[in-house]
Structure 1
Amino acid sequence: MAHCHLTPPVPSDQSLVELPAITHPPIIRTAVANVILPSRDLDAYLAYELDTTRLACLHKYLWLAGLPVPARPLHRQRLMNRTIVVTERADEHLVWHEHRFFVKPMPAFLLCHSFWEKHLCSDRSLHASACGMLLSYAWLVAYPSDFAIATKEGLLPPGFSWQQWTTFASSFLHTLDLSTLSGIAPRYQYGELRLSRLDMLTRWPFLLPSHLWSPRRLVDGYMSSSTWYTAFFERHFGWLVVGFVYVSVVLSALQVGLATSALGGNQHFQDFGLGITLAGLAALFLALASMLAVWVVLFWYHLLSTIAFDRRAHLQRRKAREKKESVGL
């Protein structure tokens, strides 16, 4: 990762948060179930806090999930009947699904000039991700109504007014190249991204690098939600209910037709009805068999992966304990 010294987009005289007021979480659980202590490893925490690597790897396919246009402001999200849901992962920021819109709260350190100088301007990748996060909030908080929503939902740090925000946003927008978006993380060349399309892209093993793809991606998709099998089958096999409704309507119509004197003795109509009936029964059998097969595969996958993860975690802890004991001796 290249190191350099870049210019903070935050003017020195317009910081909305001062350095002593910035507080980091005591512990962070990462996506791979490891932990980061910001007090011990601030660089690792910042890299994880602003990480959009998964979307950068899918960048040339993101046109399938969204448009390369700014995200709509928060008041428009409300107008579209979307509920704002807080996420603390940057790669889930501005992702939407049905009536949910995921937003990462603005990290307070992005509003501090001194913090940029000290921690964010020495790494080009980190600087680009941080600039992208600031740009995304310029999209989201464009009107006083947006500012009120962001404040109420806890998306912005407290302590400044709408007037201060507009002055601050205008200043950092002038430092960005909005025509080419150069110096901004590739993810933020797109605004809102559709979760169902990201799930589809993530499940294809040849789209993600080998170190980012795993069988769990095939099961969970881009964002893992409920771990209940009932929710999984409702989400992925709900279309079967609609299909069975249409088949039931067709079979009922055929039954009525066969009861009439005009169609009851028609051999072609009887053959057609027989074909539809057999096809419906075959479809029902295949649907139930596929659901059973998926359930069996998921059950054994979760069981074996849980056993493997449990053993790996205990092994790592034992090695760490033995290392500490050997150092102590």
Structure 2
Amino acid sequence: MNEKTTEQTSSALRPPFSSRPIPPPSTAANSSNPTARELVHQNGHIDPNQGHALASGQPVLDSVTTIPLTPEDSLPTISGRNNEAYLANDDPRQFLKHDLDLSRLNRIHGHLWMAGRPMRARPLHRYRMLGMEVLGTQQMDLHLLKYSNKLLVKPLPEWMLSYDFWREHICQPGDADSNNNVKREEGWLWKSAAGFLVSYVWLITTPLDLKIAHECTLLPSFITWHWWKDFVRDFMHHVDINTLHQVNKRYQFGDLRLGRINSTYRIRYAHTHFVRGYLYGYNRYVIFFQRNFSWILIVFVFFSLVLSAMQVGSGLKELEDNYAFLRASYVFVVFSMISVVAVLAFVTIVFIGIFLFNMVKAIAHAASEPKKRTKAAEQKQEAGKNV
């Protein structure tokens, strides 16, 4: 395998697969789109909306998910961080730097062994057998993270399968930079994108996996089983999926536990992420306390059973004069009372702390954001005057 694998260098990066049209020409796809003559023959008339679509050259389809997209059309409308937005088609390179960013996981790569094993991800049908529900996400650093019975999966876009798009945007030099104090070497976009394709080689290994992926809208609609098998065979001639030395180091692991990654971030970066962790998924305090403190109720149930047994034992003749038993009962009763008070105090402090943190953040954001927008508007007006 190593002999067949094409070595990639930062000075001469190439797409990790051969050139093929995206979407591929398909008579089946065209036959599913009725023409004006067919509509007249079937219905006797043409609906005004359908007639407008036909006149403009747009396909008439029952579902938008079946529309084959070009790589450029598969880009999102807008992209950007925080409140700064731009049209993705106007700056594909900047979009890729945001979309393929794995720096947050790479920061804690040395601790990822606590969140998952260094092995490939399971095929999709195995996750379904385990009762996992697949949820779509557009954030690369959430791809293949799992919590409870949920698995986050980033859909595979058309542009990721386009040879020309790779050559024009991903394989170009000049992507070395630093983000959040993380230095990124030349070619990191290629490694991240290639690793993402490796993850789909893991996920889709049988026709059943492909069917599940289409049901979850994870793949472009034109991908068939024969197309996918040819693509994987071609891809494995360029990227070694066993050594994984050509892809981002995040893909040395398959699926990862989101809860443990959250804990790692809260401990490793306590000064900035103690409250929100890696991914803050709570929008109500009730859910937060249910997920994080429900185990306390189980502990108190055992406490109540032990206290009830001690109460019964103290009434028995065999134990009513037993000094050791009475002493142990006394200590456990006092310990239980102190534990209840301590737990209630801790929960109260946590609630107040999170409430104050969110309130301060909301007030600060509400005060700073209008100023930023006003300043940006003034700069834009000033630039317009100078033109």
Partner of 1:165: 228
Q: Matches of 2:336 and 2:306 in 1, distance apart?
A: 10
Q: Secondary structure at the match of 1:220?
A: coil
The partner residue of 2:127 within 77, 86, 108 is 77
Q: Does 1:7 pair with 2:14?
A: yes
Give the structure-2-normalised TM-score. Answer: 0.78
- Residue 155 of structure 2 aligns with an amino acid whose one-letter code is P
Q: In 1, are the aligned partners of 2:160 and 2:166 still within 8 Å (CA)? A: yes
Equivalent residue, structure 1, for 2:183: none
From the superposition, tell whether residues 3 and 312 of structure 1 become closer, same or farther in structure 2 (CA, over 3 Å). Answer: farther
Aligned equivalent of 2:362: 306
Q: Distance in 1 between matches of 2:209 and 2:318?
A: 66
CA distance in 2, matches of 1:324, 1:180: 50
Corresponding residue of 2:251: 188
Residue aligning to 1:292: 348
What percent identity do the matched residue pairs reach?
33
Distance 1:310 1:88, change over 3 A: same
* Aligned equivalent of 2:148: 98
Distance in structure 1 (CA, Å) of the matches to 2:336 and 2:192: 53
Q: 1:178, CA displacement in angstroms?
A: 2.8
For 2:23 and 2:231, how far apart are their aligned partners in 1?
8
Count, aligned residues? 320
Question: Which of 255, 277, 281 is equivalent to 2:311?
Answer: 255
Root mean square deviation, CA, Å: 1.9
| 1:305 maps to amino acid | K
Is the 8 Å Cα contact of residues 93 and 104 (structure 1) preserved in structure 2? Answer: yes
- Match status 1:27 vs 2:83: no
Distance 1:20 1:50 in 2: 16
**SS of aligned partner of 2:152:** strand
1:223-262 mapped onto 2 (5 Å cutoff): 223-262=279-318
Q: Aligned with 2:151: secondary structure? A: strand
1: CA distance, partners of 2:167 / 2:84:
29
Confirm or deny: 8 A CA contact 1:47 1:126 kept in the other structure.
yes
Runs of 4+ in 1 over 3 A off after TM superposition: 2-5, 13-22
SS at the partner of 1:12? Answer: coil
Q: Distance in 2 between matches of 1:79 and 1:214?
A: 40
Amino acid at match of 1:309: H
Indicate how the Cα distance of structure 1 residues 22 and 4 shifts in structure 2: closer, same or farther if over 3 A, else same.
Answer: farther
Conserved 8 A contact 2:118-2:254: yes
Deviates more, 1:128-137 or 1:260-269: 260-269
Residue 137 of structure 1, CA deviation: 0.2
Q: Is the 8 A contact 1:19 1:115 kept in 2?
A: no
Please state if 1:276 is matched with 2:346: no
Matches within 5 A, 1:55-134: 55-123=105-173, 124-134=187-197
Correspondent of 2:274 among 204, 218, 222: 218
Shift of 1:79: 0.7
- Aligned to 1:11, the other structure's residue is in SS state coil
The amino acid that maps onto 2:293 is F
- Post-superposition Cα deviations, 1:93-123, rounded to whole Å, max 9, x if no partner, equal 1111121111000121011111111111114
* CA positional deviation for 1:233: 1.1
Taking the aligned partners of 2:372 and 2:20, their CA distance within structure 1 comes to 47
User: Partners of 2:352 and 2:78 in 1: how far apart?
Assistant: 37
Question: 1:20: how far off?
Answer: 6.0
SS in 1 for 2:88: coil
Q: Which moved more, 1:270-279 or 1:143-152?
A: 270-279
1:15 positional shift: 5.0
**Native 8 Å contact 2:115 2:257 kept in 1:** yes
CA distance in 2, matches of 1:21, 1:163: 24
Aligned counterparts of 2:21 and 2:90: Cα–Cα separation in 1: 29
